[in-house]
Structure 1
């Protein structure tokens, strides 16, 4: 018995036991495994758990899915495994489970997962060629004029986001096809192999030496009662303003429904985004020399001064001819949006902004606000524009000695009307800062941190809070939803007054923690016609020279401007010159294009 015990048990503890019997040697090597029933039990449980986990993963896996779905399915498979598998071999079994599931996912079931401009992955198969990405996310957005809302797919490039969707909606909206839109300058290639302008990786912003005149930060965010800024173009011929085309091939005349007797034309205004300091000083001196009888300094403290120019004869203006155009590239285009430090010679392929006159000023009633049949999707009580009273004082500009025909007095109808009305004008302008969320909810704001809740929120100085302060680019939507949707500043509504002046708009949006300040892209800011309803549609997505500026996932309560903001001082006012044809911005007189007052 002792001999048998030694042969079967004790010899198995000697690892290098020499024997000529191969079967006996194999018996000794597997002796512990043969008697270790506990180890066999744990191995059997892990095998059952592995089969259950793999089955749970494959049964729940769709035809195509992304990495996030894969991780979720793997977590569910792990839970199914742990219902059976446990013991010392569970860790190795889980590693095997992850490897099997990874192989199953990569076997023709992966998604493209290209991120959209709103950070949603493409859901199309990765191994199947596709011309257009699709994330499956649907947003509700309004057209350029705001009358029609539609479903928009998640954009994957700048053209889809800022241009193609609105062009598509224009064909569906019965108002967009009738309004006349401002023609922003765009790239016009002269060769077939044109390309996007390349920027240095270390310096995504263009060098200041290659860009336009530097912007004064204090001037952009100045007080509302800034001095009027006269502009006298003193740049070389190759850097002068390129005239905007007056013809709009995509637009049709307004129907009589919206008033055929109203001047709905538009044109550029202002010689540059930055006014000449010498011209400003000259204009300031002229204001000081201009006085009005019976007016004290206290009465004129809050007034804006507008110079009255002697109207030039139409024949003399036509003889002057159009100004020289800026030199723009015809082989390279700007890949992003126009900003304050981008090269004047680079233009985008398509406009990312929209400026349209949607009708006469009479279509808006301050008693009822914006009606659903005209502007759809507004939340209750948040569909009112803010009245803005602007006081102006008219002064006559000094006569120029180098223009002999200006020395004579020609009291035409325009001067007689001003004399009849006196030297002061009170303008009633209506302004609305419209925000829109991805669910199509639209609302106005009455302050940088307050949503308009009805007529009770509108006071005498309410509009000054939105035009003289930074307005956030993103703001939480007040709609009742479990998800906190962010609304984006998408439109600026302006109802111009019926007065012998024109309103000028020059919006600037600061995005990317102050890195970029985006503009309309027109060196001459647009001039709005009188007694009309205008809408400025802002870009849906902002992109710099070589980087996309994504919207924030959420806003911190202590920093609502983190996602970007609209700079104050975007409005200006200037006299109306009857000798100018607003349909021909390229033939506007230099004196008229250089004088305006920021309000």
Structure 2
């Protein structure tokens, strides 16, 4: 009886959601039917969400010694790529904000090295974040791509393939699609911004979330990308091979520092 009640509740909610979507589609409000893209007007919102940003928790959930923990289905190495970013900051303001960060996370021993933290005036500081590009095939096999790169700078400064071969050897080779971007933000008062731009095929527009997404410090985020890319000309067909089959354009991740207002 409990099972039937649960199924009835799910069915009722599905019907309500469908009716809401039909009502929204019949309204006079202009909406993007597919994934947001650069050819669409800036003030037009998408009909349904295609991207999903989740804060998994604090940055301590990821350990570069053991890699990704508590997430199943991965094949092979689960270590994210480290990325060092150097910022020119005002020493006095930076030291004040770093003291606030340390007081919040209570883990100063894991903070980046700050050899010049006592200097005043303009100084150069180094912050470290970790990023990973996760590919998944239709069978649910997950893998971190671009293992040939030693650090994250290559992931940021290069166009990356939207598809790559699945590395699971017990099944016929098939495409794995870029589905998630993992970002562990620095234990420092900086903002990590991500605005991925996707070219799904040679004739498709440039797809993106609709706006740049700002990530807070000392957090573990996962951005889920669309599984199906649909634009003005309809659904972009999934390729049969990985060659020339879509790209994640370079420079989708940036780091900036603005003095904290709550300290």
Q: TM-score, normalised by structure 2?
A: 0.77
The Cα of 1:332 is off from its aligned counterpart by 2.3
> Following superposition of structure 1 onto structure 2, how do residues 566-585 of structure 1 map, counting pairs within 5 Å?
566-579=248-261
Q: Quick one: distance in 2 between partners of 1:443 and 1:479?
A: 9
Q: Quick one: distance in 2 between partners of 1:519 and 1:495?
A: 21
Find out whether 1:534 has 2:221 as its counterpart. Answer: yes
Deviation sequence 1:95-144 (CA, Å, 0-9, x none): xxxxxxxxxxxxxxxxxxxxxxxxxxxxxxxxxxxxxxxxxxxxxxxxxx
Q: Quick one: distance in 2 between partners of 1:477 and 1:542?
A: 20
Q: Quick one: distance in 2 between partners of 1:485 and 1:412?
A: 50
Counterpart for residue 549 of structure 1: 236
Counterpart for residue 511 of structure 1: 200
Counterpart for residue 129 of structure 2: 429
Match of residue 55, structure 2, among 351, 357, 361 = 357
Match of residue 338, structure 1, among 36, 47, 69 = 36
Q: Quick one: distance in 1 between partners of 2:94 and 2:29?
A: 51
More strand by share: 2
Whether the 8 Å CA contact 1:475–1:488 is kept in 2: the answer is yes
The Cα of 1:413 is off from its aligned counterpart by 3.8
Q: Gaps spanning 5+ residues in structure 1: where?
A: 1-167, 169-187, 197-329, 397-409, 447-451, 581-599
Match of residue 159, structure 2, among 447, 451, 470 = 470
Match of residue 376, structure 1, among 56, 69, 72 = 72
Deviation sequence 1:514-566 (CA, Å, 0-9, x none): 531011112xx1211111101110001000024110110223xxxx3x21110
More helix by share: 1
Q: Quick one: distance in 1 between partners of 2:225 and 2:184?
A: 17
Q: Gaps spanning 5+ residues in structure 2: where?
A: 1-13, 15-19, 101-115
Counterpart for residue 168 of structure 2: 479
> How much is the aligned-residue C-alpha RMSD, in angstroms?
3.1
Q: TM-score, normalised by structure 1?
A: 0.35
Find out whether 1:347 has 2:42 as its counterpart. Answer: no
Distance change (3 Å), C-alpha of 1:489 and 1:412: closer
Whether the 8 Å CA contact 2:98–2:189 is kept in 1: the answer is no
Find out whether 1:386 has 2:81 as its counterpart. Answer: yes
> Following superposition of structure 1 onto structure 2, how do residues 136-535 of structure 1 map, counting pairs within 5 Å?
192=23, 194-195=25-26, 331-371=29-69, 374-380=70-76, 382-394=77-89, 413-414=96-97, 420=118, 423-446=123-146, 452=147, 459=150, 462-522=151-211, 525-535=212-222
Q: Quick one: distance in 2 between partners of 1:573 and 1:421?
A: 22
Distance change (3 Å), C-alpha of 1:429 and 1:412: closer
Deviation sequence 1:13-46 (CA, Å, 0-9, x none): xxxxxxxxxxxxxxxxxxxxxxxxxxxxxxxxxx
The Cα of 1:331 is off from its aligned counterpart by 1.9
The Cα of 1:411 is off from its aligned counterpart by 11
Larger RCO, structure (CA 8 Å, separation 6 or more): 2
Distance change (3 Å), C-alpha of 1:415 and 1:539: closer
Q: Quick one: distance in 1 between partners of 2:99 and 2:71?
A: 40
